[in-house]
Amino acid sequence: PCIAHKFSVSEDGLAYTFNLRTDVHFHDSPCFEGGKGRKVVAKDFVYSFHRLYDSKVSSASTLLNNIDRSDKTEYKGFLAKNDSTLIIRLKQPFSAFLSVLTQKFFSVLPYEAIEYYKQDFRRNPVGTGPFQFKMWEEGTKLILVKNQNYFEVDSKGTKLPYLDAVSISFIKSKETAFMELLNGKFDMLSGADAFNINEVLDKDGGLRDVYTNKFYLQKQTFLKTDYIGILIDDKIASVRNSPLILKSIRQAINCAFDRDKLITYLRNNIGTPAHAGFIPKGMKSYDPTKVQGYSYNPDLARELLKDAGFPNGEGLPEITLHTPDVGNYKEQAEFIQSQLAQCNINLQISLEKISVLRQAVNNCEYAMFKKSWVGDYADEENFMNIFYSKNFSPQGSNYFHYNNPAFDAAFEQAQKETNEAKKIELYQKMDRMIIDDAPIIPLYYDQVIRLVNHKVKGLGSNSMNLLNLKTVTKEK
């Protein structure tokens, strides 16, 4: 996105015109004449986008299905009007298009590098960013060095990035990684799985006093919703006789456990209890006053069980939750199990390897399963499209086989809506439908946490958890 200094959209919402900076160069590489990176021009974007359609390339070409590649456009969707002007034309308006383009799939590439490195391009990427590859030992270490020709400067006119190099280590043992941080060999650990959170954080999610002189804690909103999914397609054998086919049962389960306690006692207050909808905290449409989700209410849960024909849970068949066997998902499942038992809902737990769980859920083999959804891009469309009836698994990500014509109509309208306020209202409307129909049980909206050496300043990331290293400094 930084390469375009401005853009405009046609009144019909179909044509996007990007005016590109003229001071951007590719990384220096042997693929260029004299090894010197050349200037980026609009034709490079046309080449890069067309390359995504190549069946030999493992790409997300389906994200470009809305590009108007017909001959009537004269340029099959993409046009380099001149070296600094790129035009992209769509088949129909798509309000999330700019967000889609921010994904790494759509980074600009030089044709020289693709032809020079061929199959080894993945190990020798050539781009335009503030750092470039120096060395990569797959699964062990990655070293990036400063791009001396990077185009951005800070507010004082100083060239970015500040750092000369970045070294990234991949260590499976979180105990080893944590000791390296304590010993000053590492400057940052990222993610709750990178260390023992119970040892490092207190129950309020703060850093324990014993570590405050060693490093500081960063907590940041992350566009990720953890949830329990429910397959509600009665045409599938695995759910035909399941009590989960009844909406009242799904709603009862949503009311029968305490999300606040789950976050406090099992996640050290990392994340936000999901008392709104599926769209997570950090998105524009997130508003618990407009989308009111479920709170702990065992009395209401019992009423819903009674409405479903199971007064006080009598006669309710046992329900099995399939959950990953990593992290503390087992403890989370056991907490929910114990709380549901107080309403006489018998929840059984099946621990699964992640690969097994993923395949089984995709193939509609499980009626109830633990999953999470991480935003591919920062737009509500990406969170709501997994409930669109045309995206049924296994081809799509609608693992619930949720089918609601009213939802589909609102979703299709939102995709074309160019008025931001109206778009937000539509997504809030959809989120309320999901909460009422309950094909999911939202658990929490996640956060990213990092432990950072006190010498490191200026480290940050966006809500997609993409690190911004170009403004980082490190004291000697």
* Among candidate residues 89, 105, 127, the one where a domain is terminated: 127
Residue pair 41/83 in contact (Cβ under 8 Å)? The answer is yes
Tokens of 452: 């950072």
* Phi, psi values for residue 363, rounded to 5°: -95, 10
DSSP 72: G
State the CATH number of the domain containing residue 48.
Answer: 3.90.76.10
Average pLDDT over residues 346-374: 97
pLDDT tens figures, 210-268 = 999 999 999 999 999 999 999 999 999 878 889 999 999 999 999 999 999 999 999 99
Distances, alpha carbon 211 to alpha carbons 58, 196, 199, 201, in Å: 44, 13, 10, 9
123, pLDDT greater than 80: yes
* Among candidate residues 127, 158, 176, the one where a domain is terminated: 127
Domain match, 100 and 193 both: no
Domain match, 304 and 397 both: yes
72, pLDDT greater than 60: no
Domain match, 174 and 306 both: no
User: Which band of pLDDT confidence, cut at 50, 70 and 90, is reported for residue 416?
Assistant: very high
Report whether the peptide linkage leading into residue 298 is cis, meaning its omega lies within 30 degrees of zero: no
Distances, alpha carbon 314 to alpha carbons 140, 245, 254, 310, 345, in Å: 55, 17, 19, 5, 9
Domain match, 243 and 258 both: yes
pLDDT at 167: 97
* Phi, psi values for residue 241, rounded to 5°: -105, 15
Of 7, 101, 444, which Cα lies nearest the Cα of 261?
A: 444
Q: Where are the beta strands (DSSP E) in 379-439?
A: none
Residue pair 224/375 in contact (Cβ under 8 Å)? The answer is yes
Per DSSP, the residues of 226-282 read EEEEE---TTSHHHHT-GGGSHHHHHHHHHSS-HHHHHHHHSTT-SEE--S-SSPBT
State the CATH number of the domain containing residue 359.
Answer: 3.10.105.10
C-alpha distance across the termini of the chain, in Å: 33
Mean pLDDT of the chain: 95
Query: What range does the domain containing 73 cover?
Result: 4-127
59, pLDDT greater than 80: no
pLDDT tens figures, 430-464 = 999 999 999 999 999 999 999 999 999 999 888 89
Residues forming beta bridges with residue 448, ordered by sequence position: 220
- Report the 3 state secondary structure along 298-350: HHHHHHHHHHCCCHHHCCCCCEEEEEECCCCHHHHHHHHHHHHHCCCCCEEEE
Domain match, 142 and 115 both: no
Domain match, 246 and 117 both: no
73, pLDDT greater than 60: no
Tokens of 475: 């004291």
Of 44, 45, 26, 28, which Cα lies nearest the Cα of 36?
A: 28
476, pLDDT greater than 90: no
* Among candidate residues 110, 127, 144, the one where a domain is terminated: 127
What does R_g of the chain's alpha carbons equal in angstroms? 25
The H-or-E segment that residue 221 falls in is strand 215-230
pLDDT tens figures, 295-309 = 999 999 999 999 999
82, HSE (Cβ side, Cα atoms, 13 Å): 5
State the CATH number of the domain containing residue 155.
Answer: 3.40.190.10
Q: 148-162, 234-248, 370-384, 433-447: lowest mean pLDDT where?
A: 234-248
Distance in angstroms (rounded) separating the CA atoms of residues 20 and 42:
7
Domain match, 255 and 340 both: yes
Domain match, 215 and 151 both: yes
Structural domains in the chain (count)? 3
Domain match, 188 and 311 both: no
Domain match, 66 and 171 both: no
Q: Angle, nearest 10°, between helix axes 329-341 and 259-266?
A: 140
Distance in angstroms (rounded) separating the CA atoms of residues 417 and 341:
45
Domain match, 460 and 429 both: no
Per DSSP, the residues of 14-70 read -EEEEEE-SS-BPPP-TTSGGGPPPBP-HHHHHHHHHHTT-TTS---GGGGTTB--S
Domain match, 269 and 159 both: no
